[in-house]
Amino acid sequence: MKNETTNIRSGETSREQADREQASHKFNWRRLVALVRKESLQAMRDPSTILIAFVLPVVLLFLFAYAVSLDVREVRIGVVLESDAPSAQSLAAAFAGTRYLKVTPARDRREVADLVVSGKLRGFVVIPQDFDSRLASPIPQPLVQVITDGSQPNTANFVASYAQGVVQNWGAGRSGSAPPAAIQLEPRYWFNAELESRRSLVPGAIAIVMTIIGTMLTALVVAREWERGTMEAVLSTPASVIEILIGKLMPYFILGMIATLASTALAIFVFDVPLRGSLFALLLLSAVFLIPALGQGLLISAVTKNQFLASQIALFSGFLPSFLLSGFLFEIDAMPTWIQAITYLIPARYFVSSLQTVFLAGDVWAVFWPNLAAMASIGVFFFIIAKRKTRKNLES
Amino acid sequence: MRNLFHTFANARLRAQIVKEFFSTLRDPRSRLVVFAPPLIQLLVFAFATTLEVRNANIAVYNHDAGRWSYEMEARVGKAEFVNKVHTVQSRDELRGMIDRRQVIAALEFPSDFSRDIAAARTGTAQVIIDGRRSNAGQITVGYLSVIAADVGATARRDTQRTSPVVVRN
């Protein structure tokens, strides 16, 4: 293949070659339109493209909306009642009557300890034999013991603090003469008053879907063309590198935008996520996010030129970081500083934060502008390297 | 089982497996891709995938000139999960900080907060949480309530048990 190309080139006169070089540097709109048309047809005729662009987003959104839930509801705990005193029984009843805990009663802690070990319960509360005398003693003494499953720190915290609350409330309700709690906090959740984690997860999931379409699909499709040699056929035409790259990416840009609209419609009408910002802001954000996403895919394929490598690198550098380091599931503030520094390089980080804002809070341009600028500059950076790596000859 | 063993003992299959190994490991880039990412993933993602709340920024809007709101503010500032406490002077400023995601939660003390506590009534402070981060927000509220309970216990040292519960994780 290499030899053939050089042969054709050596057959030309120097004049012809210079003309061709000149032509290839000029940006020609007609040629670009033709290329875009050709690439669109090629993309639409490939059934796997349609599958990734339309079926995968729907499946992913459903998964994230229904399977992933960070809400704490009906946590199963055990209540071990070792004492028969009426006060102990009324405390056990207080535990059974709460909304967030689902209580398994027991008389012996060994019964429930095994259930905690096997993960059937998240923890248990022990009301000790001498509960009554502890309660009556003038020196403050611990009343109950709470054992939690520390392998899930979050749920463990919740069980501990909730159990504490139950005991305190019970104590306050029992001794009517005791003063009310000194300080009461009144939580108000802005933007998400019902506290449904689905509402912040679905906008984040749209960012993941867009990364898959933008980066993975582009990387795979273009790498496949390098593998099959069809890229060389396109390179041998007079079209310039920029025209070829834009032609290749245009269909995926449009696919990405259509997928955004479809995901948004799903989010609003099926998952009940409000869109408090404007559709214009949402589309602008998505369009700008596609620059780094497509640029990254293009860069990966240009460097690897091989589907296996491209898929691995796209997974590793595109999908996983946007899943784990974007603040979609895991709070960026809680990460160690050096990982926080890495998250600034991940375009999805800016997109997730903007999407959550545009869906739940509204058009807060103070959030959008820096995010848009960051996404655009990462994108331009990827494109510059990708263009350098895509040469019009096959010698490199 | 016997069949399976025969399949693996099959020289043709064995040769093919060996060949696939070589074809993956021959290319230096493939070698890199097979071995480097899992290591990096283990390092980076193990630290990144935490659901705890750390380094949180909290805004405080204090109308109260009394002792207990300052006590509460100071304890929040010292708390392990807090990175920085921003003092704000107006509702708009508070709103803006939450809108721009600069803080995850804001505490607002009414002007009669300390007076209520001193008069053995309940001092009510409002906590405004960024619901975009619903999970981290709920955990933050949990932490803040523990602090509030502590401050409350200090205020009512003689009348209330400090902590009636022993927790083991």
Across A178-247, the runs of DSSP E, i.e. the strands, are 183-190
Sequence-distant (≥ 6) Cβ neighbours of residue A2 within 8 angstroms: A394, A395
Tell me the torsion sign for CA atoms B126, B131, B135, B136.
Answer: negative
In tens digits, chain A (396 residues) has pLDDT values of 444 444 445 555 556 655 555 555 567 788 888 888 888 888 888 887 778 778 888 888 888 877 766 666 677 888 888 888 888 888 888 888 777 778 888 888 888 888 888 888 888 888 888 888 887 777 667 778 888 888 777 778 778 877 877 787 777 666 544 455 677 788 888 887 777 777 888 888 888 888 888 888 888 888 888 888 888 888 888 878 888 888 888 888 988 898 889 899 989 998 888 889 999 999 999 999 999 999 999 999 888 888 888 888 888 888 888 888 888 888 888 888 888 888 999 999 999 999 999 998 888 898 899 999 999 999 999 999 988 887 766 654
Query: Distance (Å, rounded) from C-alpha A231 to C-alpha A394?
Result: 10
Report CA A237 to chain centroid distance, whole Å: 40
Which of B129, B136, B159 comes nearest A190 by C-beta? Answer: B129
Query: Distance (Å, rounded) from C-alpha A319 to C-alpha A328?
Result: 12
Q: What does the longest C-alpha to C-alpha distance in chain B come to?
A: 89
Q: Name the B residues in 39-98 with CB < 8 Å from any A CB.
A: 40-41, 44-45, 47-57, 68, 72, 83, 96, 98
Sheet holding B165-168, edge to edge: A101-106, A75-81, A123-127, A144-148, B165-168
**Per-residue pLDDT, A5:** 45
pLDDT tens digits for A188-223?
888 877 777 778 888 888 888 888 888 888 888 888
Angle CA(A329)–CA(A332)–CA(A337) in degrees, nearest 5? 145
- Tell me if B41 and A145 make a contact (CB, 8 A cut-off): no
| B113 close to B64: Cβ distance less than 8 angstroms | yes
Partner B contacted by A269 (CB < 8 A): no
For residue B23, what are its two tokens?
Answer: 């074809």
Angle CA(A271)–CA(A284)–CA(A371) in degrees, nearest 5? 95
A68 - beta bridge partners? none
- Tell me if A167 and B148 make a contact (CB, 8 A cut-off): no
- Tell me if B165 and A167 make a contact (CB, 8 A cut-off): yes
**Per-residue pLDDT, A286:** 94
**What is the residue type of B49?**
T
| A355 close to A267: Cβ distance less than 8 angstroms | no
Interface test with B, best of A91, A183, A312, A330 (most B CBs within 10 A): A183
| A351 close to A371: Cβ distance less than 8 angstroms | yes
Distance from CA of B25 to the nearest CA of A (A): 12
Taking the domains of chain A in order of start, what are their residue ranges?
A: 30-67+196-389, 75-175
Nearest CA in chain B to A342: B44
- The fold for domain A75-175 equals abc type-2 transporter like fold (3.40.1710)
Distance from CA of A138 to the nearest CA of B (A): 10
pLDDT tens digits for A314-357?
888 888 888 888 888 888 888 888 888 889 999 999 999 999 99
Report CA A261 to chain centroid distance, whole Å: 18
SS3 B47: helix
Q: Name the A residues in 312-371 with CB < 8 Å from any B CB.
A: 312-313, 316, 320, 324-325, 329-331, 333-336, 339, 342, 353, 356-357, 360-361, 364, 366-367
| A324 close to B48: Cβ distance less than 8 angstroms | yes
**What is the residue type of B164?**
P
| A217 close to A246: Cβ distance less than 8 angstroms | no
- Tell me if B125 and A184 make a contact (CB, 8 A cut-off): yes
- Those residues of chain B that have pLDDT short of 70 are 1-5, 7-9, 157-167, 169
Interface test with B, best of A196, A206, A331 (most B CBs within 10 A): A331
- Tell me if A366 and B128 make a contact (CB, 8 A cut-off): no
Distance from CA of B79 to the nearest CA of A (A): 14
**Per-residue pLDDT, A394:** 61
Q: Name the B residues in 111-150 with CB < 8 Å from any A CB.
A: 117, 120-139, 141-142, 144-146, 148-149
Pairing of strands B123-130, B82-87: unpaired
- Tell me if B48 and A335 make a contact (CB, 8 A cut-off): yes
Instruction: Report helix, strand and coil shares of chain B as percent, to nearest 5.
Output: 55, 20, 25
Sequence-distant (≥ 6) Cβ neighbours of residue A4 within 8 angstroms: none
Phi, psi of A146 (to 5 degrees): -115, 125
Angle CA(B36)–CA(B38)–CA(B43) in degrees, nearest 5? 100
pLDDT tens digits for A53-84?
788 888 888 888 777 666 666 778 888 888 88
Sequence-distant (≥ 6) Cβ neighbours of residue A345 within 8 angstroms: A378
Instruction: Give the DSSP letter string of B131-151.
Output: GGGHHHHHHHHHHHHHHHHHH
| A181 close to B122: Cβ distance less than 8 angstroms | yes
Partner A contacted by B160 (CB < 8 A): yes
SS (H, E, C) A149-166: CCCCHHHHHHHHHHHHHH
- Pick the closest to residue A186 from B107, B1, B111 (CA basis): B107
A67 - beta bridge partners? none
Q: Chain B contacts of A363, Cβ < 8 Å?
A: none
Instruction: Provide the percentage of residues in chain B whose pLDDT is more than 90.
Output: 5
Q: Chain A contacts of B138, Cβ < 8 Å?
A: 72, 195
Query: Distance (Å, rounded) from C-alpha B113 to C-alpha B116?
Result: 5
| B169 close to A158: Cβ distance less than 8 angstroms | no
**Per-residue pLDDT, B158:** 45
**Per-residue pLDDT, A290:** 93
**What is the residue type of A79?**
V
Nearest CA in chain B to A363: B99
Q: What is the dihedral of CA B147, B153, B156, B157, to 10 degrees?
A: -140
Pairing of strands A144-148, A123-127: antiparallel
Report pTM: 0.76
**Per-residue pLDDT, A1:** 41
Instruction: Provide the percentage of residues in chain A whose pLDDT is more than 70.
Output: 87
Tell me the torsion sign for CA atoms A334, B109, A172, A103.
Answer: negative
DSSP-derived secondary structure letter, A333? G
A189 - beta bridge partners? B129
Place of tokens 């899943």: A323
- Tell me if B99 and A364 make a contact (CB, 8 A cut-off): yes
